[in-house]
Amino acid sequence: MTRLTSILLLFSFVQPVQAAVQLKGWLEFVQKVDMRVVESGIVEEVSVSTGQRVKQGELLLRMDQREASARLLEAKAIRARAKINTERAARELARTQELFDRGLIAQEELKDAELEDAAAAAEEESAKAGVSAAEIALERTELRAPYNGVVVARNVWEGEVIYKTLQQEPLLVIAPDGFMLARVLVTADMLRRVQQGQTARINILGDLRKAQIYSLGVEPVRVDLQGAVYALDLIFERRPDELLRPSEKVQILLP
């Protein structure tokens, strides 16, 4: 076998390597939650500011709770009275049943006691529902973080009067922490080359990160004389306390 034949044979087993496609994109939040209150009232406390990181369940905003707290106390008092009436009706029913069994009273009196007992039980259930409703109303005077995230926007201040039907903009906007998107505009031909979940790379300020293709655009973002372009999103993990903002430019390397 000649040297030339050996070289040709070697090249016949070498598969062509396709270079990664390098594109310019920008960062976006995975999602954002617009937070509004569901009852009118006065803002008593705002516990966060724009850019602050929060934990799931952390208090963000509290409305004046005096009226809601008073309604809860009233509902609990009604439930307490209803419970006493239920116990009294149960004792009366037991006494009436005993008298009936001994043949000392008519059946109509027993039926009346049974009706009183049933009515008392129904009143107690209604009172319990009233307490639950009052507790929910009190909970709704507060906004708490739906997940670990970062405060994107704050549009409310202590002392403001908020009307539930006139909140033209959200009081607070929260975005999840931990993950972000890198978005790039591509053609339909490029979208056909990739699949959801496929691994890619993102270059952020010289730091090469592993990412996954998160979503493939369906509706065009823009249509011009050169054709239509679509949004291609890649998701990657953001490091703890890393300061990354939407619209920051990044380089995307598609397989």
CA-CA-CA-CA dihedral for 42, 45, 51, 56, to nearest 10: -100
In this prediction, residues 25-39 reach a mean pLDDT of: 95
How far is it, in rounded angstroms, from Cα 119 to Cα 215? 58
pLDDT digits (tens, 9 = 90+) for 212-237: 999 999 999 999 878 899 999 999 99
Write down the pTM of the prediction: 0.77
* Contact between 145 and 54 (Cβ < 8 Å): yes
pLDDT reported for residue 47 = 97
Provide the 8-state DSSP code for 38: S
User: pLDDT digits over 100-159, tens only?
Assistant: 999 999 999 999 999 999 999 999 999 999 999 999 999 999 999 999 999 999 999 999
pLDDT tops 60 at residue 17: no
The arithmetic mean of pLDDT across residues 155-180, rounded, is 94
**Domains in the chain and their CATH numbers?**
18-30+176-254 (2.40.30.170), 34-64+142-171 (2.40.50.100), 66-139 (1.10.287)
**Category of 163 on φ-ψ map: left (φ > 0), alpha (ψ -120 to 50) or beta:** beta
